[in-house]
């Protein structure tokens, strides 16, 4: 059985995601199994997922993914580089994956690999340091530095968000000297950050925007069918939609209880960004105002969002593990169960199919799971219905079996 891997958030799952699944099987063969590595309750840009992990994993399996494994929290809410590396670690850990499939604006895996190789070149850091003296963001400085190592059309690939993530996937595969092949499919429909419908396929950003603006019916019509069903089920249970704003007072309370040293511990670059967040949190009356006040031209908004989320969840980057210590199963179908049977022989790290399994693992794995459990309880505070926020869900809920 050939197995392809995809690294996903499905926040929410839409028809563009279905297109990637269809194309992956068209290119690799209709019998190809698909293993998804999915973020939990929080996503890479430093925000709450619109639906909890179990609902999104169920929709994934009902839409064609055979096995959904969790991307652990310290990678799910990290930089694009860390997010990609965590996903690749999980896929490598299965011992089964031959191809990593992902969408991109360019649709050219060879070009993305060339950019990845340039980014790993020892010469690049010298060029980046020179460009940073202009005062631009790191991303802008990196792109200009790449122009010295690449053709202009290759360097320009880093102007598009899905290309950027694809490059990071290629970097992770190269760093780990993996035999997994990169397979990219050209993205269709609305762009990654697009808020206007294009080509009949909505982006996840557009769907979240519609839900936030009260255009529920339109959003539901643009979701993949299984995602629509999952959303309606969660909505009936009082658990959807989930927005950070619902938890705003809790987040502000956490920020205002933190010292300057606490904020400094969130600033991985030691560039004074923690001080800006500390000052902003003392005056701002919303999380959005905290972010807008602290933001500068040099620092990406999503970087600030991640720091605020880390603060809310009590996470310190210096304590993030470097290697994924286990593979946690979120959902599977019959083919997925066959994959799990093979993983019992092939996987390089333990596979968790029920929460109690973690108690047999080492201290680092147990600490990670406890961090996930606390974060799940804090996520639940953003449910629309307060009666649905009972804690301890991660210790009670096993995989969704279809």
**Residue range 27-52, pLDDT digits in tens:** 999 999 999 999 999 999 999 999 99
**Residue 208 above 80 pLDDT?**
yes
Span 145-163, average pLDDT: 89
**Residue 260 above 90 pLDDT?**
yes
With cut-offs at 50, 70 and 90, classify the pLDDT of residue 177.
Answer: very high
Give the number of other CB atoms < 10 A from CB of residue 299: 18
Q: φ, ψ for residue 261 (rounded to 5)?
A: -65, -35
- The b-or-e profile of 188-198 (16+ CB within 10 A means b, else e) is bbbbbeeeeee
What mean pLDDT is reported for the chain?
A: 94
The Cα–Cα gap between 51 and 383 comes to 9
Give residue 305's pLDDT.
97
With cut-offs at 50, 70 and 90, classify the pLDDT of residue 10.
Answer: very high
Classify residue 41 by its DSSP letter.
S
The separation between the first and the last C-alpha atoms of the chain, rounded to the nearest angstrom, is 20
47 DSSP β-pair partners:
43
**Dihedral through CA 37, CA 38, CA 44, CA 45, nearest 10?**
140
Helices 363-380 and 301-313 meet at what angle, rounded to 10?
100
Dump pLDDT digits (tens) for 224-236: 999 999 999 999 9
With cut-offs at 50, 70 and 90, classify the pLDDT of residue 195.
Answer: low
Lowest mean pLDDT across 36-50, 190-204, 251-265, 278-292 = 190-204
Span 305-333, average pLDDT: 97
CB 184, CB 166: distance < 8 Å: yes
Give residue 381's pLDDT.
97
**Residue 350 above 80 pLDDT?**
yes
Sorted by sequence, the CB contacts under 8 Å of residue 125 that are 6+ apart come out as none
């Amino acid at each position: 059985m050939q197995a392809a891997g995809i690294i996903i958030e499905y926040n929410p799952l839409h028809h563009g995601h279905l297109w990637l699944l269809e194309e992956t099987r068209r290119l690799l063969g209709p019998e190809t199994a698909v293993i998804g590595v999915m973020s939990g309750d929080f996503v890479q840009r430093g925000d709450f997922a619109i639906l909890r992990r179990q609902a999104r994993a169920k929709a994934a399996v009902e839409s064609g993914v055979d096995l959904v494994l969790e991307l652990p929290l310290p990678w799910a809410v990290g930089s694009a580089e860390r997010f990609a590396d965590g996903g690749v670690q999980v896929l490598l850990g299965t011992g089964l994956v031959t191809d990593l499939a992902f969408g991109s604006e360019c649709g050219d895996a060879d070009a993305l690999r060339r950019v990845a190789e340039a980014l790993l070149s020892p010469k690049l850091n010298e060029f980046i340091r020179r460009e940073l003296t202009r005062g631009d963001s790191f991303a802008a400085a990196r792109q200009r530095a790449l122009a010295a190592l690449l053709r202009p059309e290759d360097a320009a690939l880093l102007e598009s968000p899905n290309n950027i993530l694809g490059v990071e996937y290629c970097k992770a595969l190269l760093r780990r000297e993996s035999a997994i092949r990169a397979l990219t499919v050209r993205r269709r429909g609305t762009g990654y950050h697009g808020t206007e419908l294009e080509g009949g396929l909505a982006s996840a950003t557009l769907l979240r925007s519609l839900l936030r603006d009260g255009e529920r019916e339109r959003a539901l019509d643009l979701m993949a069918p299984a995602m629509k069903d999952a959303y309606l089920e969660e909505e009936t249970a009082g658990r959807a939609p989930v927005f950070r704003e619902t938890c705003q007072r809790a987040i502000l309370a956490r920020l205002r209880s933190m010292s300057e040293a606490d904020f400094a511990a969130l600033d991985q670059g030691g560039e004074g960004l923690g001080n800006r967040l500390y000052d902003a949190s003392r005056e701002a009356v919303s999380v959005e105002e905290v972010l807008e006040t602290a933001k500068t031209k040099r620092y990406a908004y999503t970087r600030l969002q991640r720091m605020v989320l880390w603060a809310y969840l009590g996470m310190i980057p210096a304590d993030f593990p470097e290697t994924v210590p286990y593979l946690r199963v979120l959902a599977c179908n019959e083919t997925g169960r066959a994959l799990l049977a093979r993983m019992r022989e092939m996987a390089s790290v333990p596979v968790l199919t029920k929460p109690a399994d973690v108690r047999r693992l080492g201290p680092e794995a147990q600490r990670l799971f406890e961090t996930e459990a606390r974060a799940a309880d804090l996520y639940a505070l953003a449910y629309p219905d307060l009666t649905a926020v009972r804690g301890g869900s991660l210790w009670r809920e096993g995989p969704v079996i279809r």
